[in-house]
């Protein structure tokens, strides 16, 4: 077949991919695997001393009734779950090493979680830069992409944005992205879910072609049609956490027959097997599990002894494979160095690619970006009209302070709200890509922080200029620059809070807690309550309050620095001298620079907290 040849060529083709995979077709064997969740009385055993083998060059389907343990099994084999597991997982007879194994395998989740605003080509290119690194020449990356796109039938969709792709195309793209660095083992969780029958067939045919090139391809699958089932080479059926059948697809019915279970004519064998596994044909599951020795044997219909041990392949060949595997791993470790073993590209390339990709995504989120811009301009004009020309009038100086405080709250919330809403969705993309070793979390987080900075400068600037001029604040570049610095700091802090809550919680919880969490800091900002009025045992909150530092910094920008007396539109104005007004807020001895440092410290702490939460979340996914 044409695609088969191309994939084989590619398997031999690119140097980066070759380096990664040379001589490495991996047979995955697991023995006596148990998986338990919970502890003590609530402990639940999900997998029960299950064994099996998934061979290279074969497309294997894991089937079973809902809740049987298919996803749990695959997650354990893929190395995503590490706790509560007993038993052994071997690669070519040698115990699996997590770090190398995750570089050599790819996991394609049920939901595609792709960045909607990138085109197929842009996505593939960024994946190629991240996975193949700087060593692979540009031409080679393009060739790799071209071959994968041809194989997956996506050549005509190269310039289409992900948001415009069909479900089947998204699934194929998700597969294509993981094929770039030529993983030896592909795990797919329900690759056909949500696809119609022809897209499902197309998708599984692609997987079959991929398997034919020597890779080990394992997919969980729900109720496949007879045609779809025929595409698979091997079948592994899980029932209640045990293995009920393991062997070629066309040996399933003979195996069931050997246990006196006859599949009715014109009945889909997959449906029949699932019915049996669900207990609809009486208590035969135990016999089936024993017959296949809970996965220790592979059923073969064409031999006198109908079962062969699942680890029966040639022992000598095993040793050669194992040695080759060890040598290749060793070479890779030496060549790329300790750090780079896990990721295809060096840290700076990861940051650069992610930065470009994030900018592109933010820029193309046109509705959100346009709405944010419009909102900033509209609110600025409204504030300008409401507080028209009050900046130099001592009679309405309280109103001016109120306006300053409002500006801070607006900029804070305008930066925070969109961040946690968008980041929450992006988090799933991060989980998928990070687990497949595209990049490190540090690189992602740095790129995310850097990519947002221009926007956190742009929006407060667009807001502050009209407000400053319309409300007649002192016409001094220095004062404007000081106020502008504070506005940017508060915007960055707001974005950091959004990132933290977007990382920590799902949208409903984050949208409640993120705004509420700022209230204590708002209360001690110094605008609503003087420092002396705060009970001494609560004063420490003031030192943590980014709103305290930002209010302090803003007031000092406008009223400190020997500002001349204000005009007075009434017969008597108590606060004509700005210093007197600062004294009212206990700010006469405050330092603008300390306020900026306080803001910076808040920014840093919140960013680090966001990073730690994300790291915890990513570890928890496993």
Ligand X SMILES: Nc1ncnc2c1ncn2[C@@H]1O[C@H](COP(=O)(O)OP(=O)(O)OP(=O)(O)O)[C@@H](O)[C@H]1O
Binding region for ligand X (CB under 6 A): 37, 44, 46, 64, 66-72
Least distance from ligand X to the Cβ atom of residue 66, Å: 3
CB-CB contact of 479 with 398 (8 Å): no
Quick one: 44 or 335, whose CB is closer to ligand X? Answer: 44
SS3 per residue for 153-174: CCHHHCCCEHHHCCHHHHHHHH
* Residue 539 CB neighbour total at 10 angstroms: 12
Least distance between ligand X and beta carbon 82 (Å)? 13
**Smallest distance from ligand X to CB 621, Å:** 12
Least separation in angstroms between residue 286's CB and ligand X is: 19
Nearest to 526 by CA among 437, 400, 402: 402
- Least CB distance from residue 285 to ligand X, whole Å? 15
- Between 39 and 338, CB nearer to ligand X: 39
> What are the φ/ψ torsions at residue 591 (nearest 5 degrees)?
-115, 130
Q: Which residues pair with 243 in a beta bridge?
A: 238
CB of 64 to ligand X, least distance (A): 5
Q: Considering beta carbons, is residue 218 or 482 the nearer one to ligand X? A: 218
- Output 278 or 389, the one with its CB closest to ligand X: 278
> In the complex, what is the shortest distance from the CB of residue 75 to ligand X, in angstroms, rounded to a whole number?
8
In angstroms, what is the minimal distance from the CB of 54 to ligand X?
Answer: 16
To the nearest whole angstrom, how small is the minimum distance from the Cβ of residue 69 to ligand X?
4
Name the nearest CA neighbour of 616 among 431, 456, 475.
431
Residue 143, helix vs strand vs coil: helix
Of residues 66 and 302, the one with the C-beta less far from ligand X: 66
HEC profile for 265-302?
A: CCCCHHHHHHHHHCCCCCCCHHHHHHHCHHHCEEECCC
In the complex, minimum distance from the CB of residue 239 to ligand X, in angstroms, rounded to a whole number: 10
Determine which helix (DSSP H) or strand (DSSP E) holds 309, and give its type and residue range.
strand 307-309
Residue 284: phi and psi, rounded to 5, are -105, -10
Residue given tokens 């007649």 in the structure block: 472
**Comparison of 68 and 404: residue with beta carbon closer to ligand X:** 68
CB nearer to ligand X: pick between 67 and 137: 67
Residue the block writes with tokens 């920008």: 557
Phi and psi at residue 225, to the nearest 5°: -70, 165
Beta carbon of residue 492, minimum distance to ligand X (angstroms, whole number): 37
For residues 380 and 463, is the Cβ–Cβ distance under 8 A? yes
Of residues 72 and 144, the one with the C-beta less far from ligand X: 72
**To the nearest whole angstrom, how small is the minimum distance from the Cβ of residue 68 to ligand X?**
4
Alpha carbons 378 and 366: distance in angstroms, whole number: 18
In this structure, what token pair is assigned to residue 202? Answer: 């197309």
Please provide the size of the chain in residues.
Answer: 622
Residue 440 makes CB contacts below 8 A (sequence gap 6+) with 342, 343, 347, 350, 434
Q: Which is nearer to ligand X, 241 or 418 (CB)?
A: 241
* Least Cβ distance, residue 620 to ligand X (angstroms): 11
Contact status, residue 215 vs residue 185, Cβ threshold 8 Å: yes
CB of 589 vs ligand X, minimal distance in Å:
56
Query: Do residues 247 and 253 touch, judged by C-beta distance below 8 A?
Result: no
Classify residue 311 by its DSSP letter.
T
Identify which of 126, 114, 212, 226 has the alpha carbon closest to the alpha carbon of residue 172: 114
Q: Which two tokens stand for residue 16?
A: 């980066």
Minimal CA–CA distance to 607: which of 451, 500, 457, 517? 500
Query: Least distance (Å) from ligand X to the CB of residue 178?
Result: 20
Residue closer to ligand X by CB (options 53, 72) is: 72
Q: Is 469 exposed, middle or buried (0-12, 13-18, 19+ CB in 10 A)?
A: middle
Residue number with CB closer to ligand X (67 or 564): 67
Given the complex with ligand X, which of 67 and 279 has the nearer CB atom?
A: 67
Query: Which residue's CB is nearer to ligand X, number 457 or number 618?
Result: 618
If the CB atoms of residues 64 and 578 are measured against ligand X, the closer one turns out to be 64
Report yes or no: 242 and 46 within 8 Å, Cβ to Cβ.
no
Q: Please, which residue, 274 or 558, has the CB nearer to ligand X?
A: 274
Tokens of 72: 């749990």
Token output for 441: 């979390």
What would the two tokens of residue 612 be? 């730690």
Task: Calculate helix-pair angle for 441-470, 592-621, nearest 10 degrees.
Answer: 140
Q: Is the dihedral of CA 29, 297, 247, 240 positive or negative?
A: negative
Dihedral (CA of 134, 135, 139, 145) sign: negative
């Amino acid at each position: 077949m044409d695609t088969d040849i191309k994939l084989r060529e590619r398997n031999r083709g690119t140097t980066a991919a070759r380096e990664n995979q040379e001589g490495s077709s991996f047979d995955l064997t697991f023995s006596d695997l148990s998986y338990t969740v919970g502890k003590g009385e609530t402990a639940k055993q999900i997998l029960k001393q299950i064994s099996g083998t998934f061979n290279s060059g074969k497309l294997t389907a894991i089937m079973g009734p809902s809740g049987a343990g298919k996803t749990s099994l695959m997650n354990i084999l893929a190395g995503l779950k590490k706790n509560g597991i007993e038993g052994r997982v071997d690669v070519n007879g040698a115990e699996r090493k997590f770090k190398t194994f995750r570089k050599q395998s790819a996991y394609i989740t049920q939901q595609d979680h792709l960045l909607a605003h990138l085109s197929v080509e842009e996505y593939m290119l960024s994946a190629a830069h991240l996975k193949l690194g700087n060593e692979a020449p540009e031409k080679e990356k393009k060739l790799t992409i071209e071959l994968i796109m041809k194989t997956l039938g996506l050549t005509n969709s190269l310039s289409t944005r992900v948001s415009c792709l069909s479900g089947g195309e998204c699934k194929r793209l998700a597969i294509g992205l993981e094929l770039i660095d030529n993983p030896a083992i592909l795990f797919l969780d329900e690759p056909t879910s949500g696809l119609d029958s022809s897209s499902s067939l197309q998708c599984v045919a692609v997987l079959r072609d991929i398997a034919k090139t020597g890779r080990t391809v394992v997919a969980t699958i729900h109720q496949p049609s007879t045609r779809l089932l025929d595409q698979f080479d091997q079948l592994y059926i899980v029932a209640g956490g045990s293995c009920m059948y393991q062997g070629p697809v066309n040996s399933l019915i003979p195996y069931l027959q050997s246990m006196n279970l006859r599949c009715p004519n014109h009945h889909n064998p997959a449906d029949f097997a699932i019915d049996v596994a669900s207990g609809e044909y009486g208590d035969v599951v135990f016999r089936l599990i024993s017959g296949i020795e809970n996965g220790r044997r592979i059923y073969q219909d064409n031999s006198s002894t109908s079962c062969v041990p699942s680890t029966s392949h040639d022992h000598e060949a095993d040793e050669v494979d194992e040695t080759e595997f060890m040598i290749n791993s060793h070479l890779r470790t030496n060549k790329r160095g300790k750090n780079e073993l896990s990721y295809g590209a060096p840290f700076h390339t990861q940051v650069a690619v992610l930065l470009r990709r994030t900018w592109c995504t933010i820029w193309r989120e046109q509705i959100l970006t346009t709405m944010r811009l419009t909102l900033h301009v509209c609110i600025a004009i409204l504030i300008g009209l409401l507080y028209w020309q009050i900046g130099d009038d001592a009679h309405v100086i309280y109103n001016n302070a109120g306006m300053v405080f409002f500006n801070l709250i607006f900029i804070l919330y305008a930066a925070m709200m969109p961040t946690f809403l968008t980041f929450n969705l992006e988090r799933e993309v991060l989980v998928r890509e990070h687990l497949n070793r595209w990049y490190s979390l540090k690189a992602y987080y740095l790129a995310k922080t850097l990519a947002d900075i221009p926007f956190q400068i742009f929006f407060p600037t667009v807001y502050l200029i009209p407000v400053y001029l319309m409300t007649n604040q002192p016409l001094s570049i220095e004062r404007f620059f000081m106020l502008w610095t504070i506005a940017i700091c508060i915007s960055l802090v707001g974005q950091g809070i959004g990132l933290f809550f977007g990382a920590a919680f799902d949208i409903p919880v984050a949208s409640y807690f993120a705004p509420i969490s700022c209230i204590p800091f708002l209360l001690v900002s110094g605008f609503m309550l003087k420092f002396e009025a705060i009970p001494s045992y609560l004063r420490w909150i003031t030192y943590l309050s980014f709103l305290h530092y930002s209010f302090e910094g803003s007031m000092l920008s406008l009223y400190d620095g020997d500002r001349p007396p204000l005009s007075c539109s009434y017969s008597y104005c108590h606060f004509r001298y700005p210093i007197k007004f600062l004294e009212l807020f206990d700010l006469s001895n405050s330092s603008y620079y300390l306020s900026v440092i306080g803001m910076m410290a808040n920014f840093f702490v919140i960013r680090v907290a966001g990073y730690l939460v994300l790291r915890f979340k990513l570890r928890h996914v496993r």
